[in-house]
Structure 1
């Protein structure tokens, strides 16, 4: 399972780094594969372990912010090994096939 989520502290000043730093620490220390960018964090794992990390990260933001907005998007693809990198690998292979003139119906 691959989950992309974002935590947005509400009712605080524009800069939110101090409000989400503890959440990011929880995510990184979870041991689950993860990647963050400027808008979302992606985390890979089994349903219960991913949701537990998201819950704890949300609680960390809630401890510092009067309100938290949580957005979650999940890709449940049981046969995809390592979806955090595997999905990108499929895309990169497709781009390489298109660029080289080869077409592969597997990706």
Structure 2
């Protein structure tokens, strides 16, 4: 299962990097495969693992703010593995080349 998680502790100002870094420590310590993006974090694992981690992250955000918005998007495909890489690789194969993604060189748009 692949989950995209976005957590916004409200009322904390315009920059959330410090709060989100604390939340990402929990994700990193989980040992589950994940990928941080500019708008959220994709996490891969089974239902119990990922939903338990989502709960931990939301609870951590609640320790910063009395009002937290947490959004999740779930892809649940039978027998699928390595979705973090395979979803992107499938699109790159069809595009015929590597595409820009977090942690990689940004592909500049052509004029």
Superposition TM-score, scaled by structure 2 size: 0.82
Tell me which residue corresponds to 2:9: 9
**Are 1:52 and 2:55 matched, yes or no?**
no
CA-CA distance at 1:34 after TM superposition: 0.1
State the superposition RMSD in angstroms: 1.3
Aligned residues: 97
**Who is 1:82 aligned against?**
82
Note if contact 1:80-1:86 (Cα within 8 Å) is conserved in structure 2: no
Q: Which residue of 1 aligns with 2:40?
A: 40
- The runs of 5 or more residues in structure 2 that have no matched partner are 98-111
**Which deviations, in whole Å up to 9, do the C-alpha atoms of 1:46-71 show, x marking residues without a partner?**
00100111110111111011211001
TM-score by length of 1: 0.85
CA distance in 2, matches of 1:78, 1:29: 26
Large movers: runs of 4+ above 2 Å: none
Task: Single out whichever of 49-58 and 76-85 deviates more from structure 2.
Answer: 76-85
